[in-house]
Amino acid sequence: MRNYIIRRILLIIPILIGISFISFLLINLNPSDPAEVALRVNEIVPTDEAVTAMREELGLDKPFFQRYIIWLGNSLRLDFGNSYVNNKPVSGEILNALPATLYLAAVALIMTLGISMIAGILCAIFEDSIGDKITRGIIFVATAMPNFWVGLLLMWLFAVKLDLFPTSGMRGFTSVVLPATTLSLSYIAIYTRLIRNSMIQNKNENYILYGRIRGLGNWVIIKHILKNSIQSSITALGMSIPKLISGTVIVENIFAWPGIGRLCVSAIFNRDYPIIQAYIVMMATLFVVCNLLVDIFSAFLDPRIRRMT
């Protein structure tokens, strides 16, 4: 087990280097000169001297690889430079916005877990009942609904018409309900289906037949099925945590939630490259780390995976 973990951690180092290189490359491939953009967003006329001065200030006059190494070193110390717009450190801006996003994602995750578990288990127990059919219909529609539309409809119904929740912003607990519901809806659909199908599959296994012959009660049997079918869903859920966090971009923009997704979109409009770059690096790192944790967790549960790789 220890060897497996060490090997996996060593394997992500080249991936992380690749990620940092791509993030750096993207900024340097873009058609407009960062120095000129930095001047323009501050409403300074980009004369030749001003551009040259700015290039020196941003370190753009050095060769490409030297800049990459300097940038990589700074990034490791969480120093992503200053925002072009307000000249504040990017890491500070991101750390300010991060808690709101994590809060939203955590509530959405809890909702996904709770609702999809209950719905999935009930659907599997009462397979082909009316309730199961209705749930399956809802699941199918929910996966095809664009979540920005869901968000608008929820906002109209619960915030405008019924006035139960605030339409936007982050004030108190009630304000998180609508964004979190919007964010979790498609995940609830996916996991309800996953849990339902894997429980139904387990229902036909021999060990359940044996349990029934032994005369075990219904509840004990359901517990057995659940234990065996929940594992794959938990692994899949771990994989979707970074997706959940990156998926907040749209939801945050609809509900004016002060998180990193909104920060990133406004940075795109302002051409504030350091913030975009930091967002990319952070998200990709999060993705890699979450995958690593999920892999280690599944290896911990299932010794076969350890031997395989």
Q: Which is nearer to other proteins, 85 or 265 (CB)?
A: 265
* Residue ranges that bind other proteins, judged by CB under 8 A: 15, 18-19, 22-23, 26-27, 29-31, 127-128, 136, 140-141, 143-149, 152-153, 155-156, 160, 197, 200-201, 204-205, 242-243, 246-247, 249-250, 253-254, 264-265, 267-269, 271, 273, 276, 279-280, 283-284, 287-288, 291
Q: Are 274 and 205 in contact (CB under 8 A)?
A: no
Q: How far is it, in rounded angstroms, from Cα 16 to Cα 24?
A: 12
Instruction: Tell me the closest approach of the beta carbon of residue 236 to other proteins, in angstroms.
Output: 15
What does the chain come to in residues?
A: 309
Instruction: Tell me the closest approach of the beta carbon of residue 151 to other proteins, in angstroms.
Output: 9
Q: Which is nearer to other proteins, 129 or 143 (CB)?
A: 143
Q: Which is nearer to other proteins, 189 or 303 (CB)?
A: 189
Q: Which is nearer to other proteins, 47 or 163 (CB)?
A: 163
Instruction: Tell me the closest approach of the beta carbon of residue 49 to other proteins, in angstroms.
Output: 26
Residue 145's nearest CA partner among 137, 238, 191 is 137
Other Cβ atoms less than 10 A from the Cβ of 277: the count is 21
Q: How far is it, in rounded angstroms, from Cα 108 to Cα 257?
A: 14
Q: Which is nearer to other proteins, 7 or 52 (CB)?
A: 7
Instruction: Tell me the closest approach of the beta carbon of residue 253 to other proteins, in angstroms.
Output: 6
Instruction: Tell me the closest approach of the beta carbon of residue 144 to other proteins, in angstroms.
Output: 4
Q: Which is nearer to other proteins, 42 or 201 (CB)?
A: 201
CA distances from 217 to 110, 120, 212, 237 (A): 30, 21, 8, 30
Residue 101's nearest CA partner among 224, 230, 257, 206 is 257
Q: Which is nearer to other proteins, 47 or 64 (CB)?
A: 64
Q: What is the CA radius of gyration of the chain?
A: 24
Exposed, middle or buried: residue 120 (CB in 10 Å: 0-12, 13-18, 19+)? buried
Instruction: Tell me the closest approach of the beta carbon of residue 48 to other proteins, in angstroms.
Output: 24
Q: Which is nearer to other proteins, 180 or 251 (CB)?
A: 251
Instruction: Tell me the closest approach of the beta carbon of residue 160 to other proteins, in angstroms.
Output: 6
Q: How far is it, in rounded angstroms, from Cα 92 to Cα 114?
A: 34
Instruction: Tell me the closest approach of the beta carbon of residue 209 to other proteins, in angstroms.
Output: 10
For 111, what's the count of Cα atoms within 13 Å in the CB-facing half-sphere? 21
Write b or e for each residue in 88-119: b if 16 or more Cβ atoms lie within 10 A of its Cβ, otherwise e. ebbbebbeebeebbebbbebbbebbbebbbeb
3-state SS string for 102-139: HHHHHHHHHHHHHHHHHHHHHHHHCCCCHHHHHHHHHH
Q: Which residue has the tokens 């407009």?
A: 32
Q: Which is nearer to other proteins, 155 or 178 (CB)?
A: 155
Instruction: Tell me the closest approach of the beta carbon of residue 243 to other proteins, in angstroms.
Output: 6
Q: Are 178 and 159 in contact (CB under 8 A)?
A: yes
